[in-house]
Structure 1
Amino acid sequence: MKLAKTVRSLVLCSMCSFFAVSAMAATTVVGSGASFPAPIYTTWFKQFSRANKGVQINYQAKGSGAGIRDFIDHTVDFAASDAAMTEKQIAKVPEGVQLLPMTAGEIVLAYNLKGVKDLQLSREAYTGIFLGKIKKWNDPVLVKANPGVTMPDEEITVVSRADSSGTSYVFTQHLAAISPEFAKNPGYGKTVNWPSAIKMVKAPKNDGVTATIKQTPGAIGYIEYGYAKMTKQPMAKLENKAGKFVAPGLEGGQAALANAKLPENMIAWITDPAGDQSYPIATYTWMMFYKKYSDPAKAEILRNMVAYCLDHGQKIADKIGYIPLPANVVEKVRAASANIQ
């Protein structure tokens, strides 16, 4: 009996030690920020955690502005933003900041318009809508861009972001690039004071805007392509710099990226890409890391996570609605990730 009790005690003790070591070995990495890349990041992080037992990536899609604030406040291990970070924001982080473009995507104008399957929007048309100058779907400017289509006599409802948003930043940056009037007022940013003439509804994050468009007859709003693709939301063809109407998708997105050169700070904007095949509103989206972590093991996990996203993640980008990074960008990102220590 004594021997059996001793053996049982040893077994129980060993099990306790095993679970204690396992618990100690488990590492949770916390990130927050952009909702624009959330579908692909969520997929990557789940796959990475499955491939690396004991590592859990917890990412909260709060919006780019909230992610940058969390990063500056050191309440997360990394953050994500479609608006990158400004020099002033970077200066607030004593450990230094490494920005890495991890994927790219297109901002589409999704709409809810009964009887209209193939909508074309000229530059005059979509800037006019977001300036509050075009208020009805049968406006002559819209009719002209859609020959042979019966445009309904229906009021336009614009759906925009309610939160501080990198998607808003990229979209309004594009509008400012193609419209001097928009550049003057309201201008661009993560939050925008939209013209009062617009009939507008606001919703948080990309998924909130997507759901609101779907529920609102006569609505139009700007969202990341992957959200529209997942929800089978109709998307307009947009007139590009070359005067061609281009549908969002892999071909147009890759053509847009081909015009971007990535500088040393890893921040490049594609506000109005040239080329007949280029979709006009495309952007990189960034992850942000500290250059110096107090825990070297966590820094190593983050470097490995970046490598996983570059080696495996880019292969599934198009399927989820994102643009795979060009090979030269992948290598620049891989080299820069060595700064995460």
Structure 2
Amino acid sequence: MQSCGAERRAGRVASMWATRGIGAGLAVLLGGAGLPAHATEITGAGSSFGAPIYGAWGAAAARATDIRLNYQTIGSGAGQNQVKARTVDFGASDAPMNAAQLAQNGLLQFPTVMGAIVAVVNLPGVDAGHLRLTGELLARLYAGDITMWNDPAITAENPGVTLPAMPVAPVRRADGSGTTFVFTSYLARVSPRWAKEQGSGTSIEWPVGEGARGNDGIAAAVRNTEGSIGYLEYAYAAGNHMPIVELRNRHGEMVEAGPDSFSRAVSTARWAQDATHAADVLDGNGAGAWPIMAATYVLVPQDRAETAQGRAVRTFFDWSMRNGGEAALSLHYVPLPDDIRATIRGLLAH
């Protein structure tokens, strides 16, 4: 019961971080007070998508395992670079490496949680949940094809909603970002034109828009800019009480972002049967499924497995796979299925 209480406290702490928009330079130094002198510190860096849950797990696991986590929220691209350079004990990325990259860099990769990417807006007179878009419309907004919010293509999807005659101000990531990888991969899947002209990646040549760093940077830019639209991980949108757009899914339904639509999406996941352990959760065809879902991943150096830090990293994530579900749910993530978590624990045991 003590461990569960610590986990709940950790969830509240991490939720506070998301709500307050603590950003890219944050070092999550957790559980230091009261730890024994022999406690092992592990360092990780990367994904802002995963930062709230790693913060929560770090706070709870510190007391349960005598491991202290120092996590830097610097974006997925930088997280991959740092673990490849062996300047951190693990990297975190929403864009999974392929099997060849993992082998070349001597890395073990596994997912930790799943989460949703949502579109948020700042439109005077339009309340939360009262704007509906399709994937194709999102692509056209970010391509600069639609420049006004009262464009007929948008009003057609929103009967009865008075949309302002206001220019569209797209906000996108300025840093190498796994959230961008997921978002642009979705746009490429639903829009052949986007796939051909912009493509997908952690960093792309955006046709239009203002850049911001991190999920918290996107949230701040949208809050401060009327007429703006941005994309970010759901925990940041929910924590900041931002208006979230409803989206039409592949099943043809307009769906709201929330636990039910996220769980339905996860049930459609297609799991890779190779060393990537990657999940494809984008644009699932299930009824009620949220269309922009992804897993976030950890990258662990194989050649450090027998060092003190290497053993501590594996212990930390083994503990998290066994005990981290409540914290994940409290922060609006979807825990991995039981069989996937069991597989990951088996990988960590070797």
**TM > 0.5:** yes
Partner of 2:258: 249
Task: Please give the alpha-carbon distance, in whole angstroms, between the structure 2 residues aligned to 1:86 and 1:261.
Answer: 16
Contact 1:79 1:288 in 2 (8 A): yes
CA–CA distance in structure 1, aligned partners of residues 231 and 311 of structure 2: 37
Name the residue aligned to 1:98.
108
2:117 to 90, 107, 123: 107
**Alpha-carbon distance in structure 2 between the residues aligned to 1:277 and 1:332:** 28
- 1:171 deviates by 0.5
Residue matched to 2:332? 321
| Distance across 2 between alignment mates of 1:154 and 1:114 | 9
Ranges in structure 1 where 5+ consecutive residues have no aligned partner: 1-21
Q: Which runs of 5+ in 2 are unaligned?
A: 1-35
Matched, 1:30 2:39: no
Deviation, structure 1 residue 27: 1.8
Cα offset for 1:268?
Answer: 2.0
| C-alpha separation in 1, matches of 2:257 and 2:154 | 19
After superposition, residues 1-341 of structure 1 pair within 5 angstroms as 23=37, 25-53=38-66, 55-93=67-105, 96-117=106-127, 118-195=130-207, 198=208, 200-262=209-271, 263-265=273-275, 266-293=277-304, 295-339=306-350
2:118–2:231 contact (8 Å) kept in structure 1: yes
Counterpart of 2:78, as a letter, is: A
SS at match of 1:318: helix
**Deviation (angstroms), 1:84:** 1.3
Residues of 2 paired with 1:92 and 1:336: CA distance?
Answer: 19
Aligned equivalents of 2:50, 2:305: Cα separation in 1: 28
- Of the structure 1 ranges 108-117 and 297-306, higher mean CA displacement relative to structure 2 is found in 297-306
| Correspondence for 1:12 | none
> Among the aligned pairs, what percent are the same residue?
37
Q: Give a deviation string over 1:151-182, Cα, whole Å, max 9, x none.
A: 10000100000000000001100110111100
Work out the CA distance in 1 between the residues paired with 2:51 and 2:90.
Answer: 14
Shift of 1:327: 1.6
Q: What do you get for the CA RMSD once the two structures are aligned?
A: 1.4
Q: What is the number of equivalent residue pairs in this alignment?
A: 311
- The residue number in structure 1 matching 2:16 is none
CA offset digits 1:228-269 (Å, max 9, x no partner): 010001100001001111111111111111111322320122
CA displacement at 1:60 relative to structure 2: 0.4
Normalised to the residue count of structure 2, the TM-score between the two structures is 0.86
Counterparts of 1:278 and 1:52, CA distance in 2: 37
Counterpart secondary structure, 1:47:
helix
Q: Which entry has the higher C-alpha Rg, 1 or 2?
A: 1
SS state at 2:119 partner: strand
Superimposed CA distance per residue, residues 15-64 of structure 1 (whole angstroms, 9 cap, x where no aligned partner)? xxxxxxx64x23210100100111111111111112233x2110001000
Question: Could you report, residue by residue, the CA deviation over 1:260-307 in whole angstroms, capped at 9, with x for unpaired residues?
Answer: 132232012223211121100000110111223264433332222112
User: What SS class does the counterpart of residue 145 from structure 1 fall into?
Assistant: coil
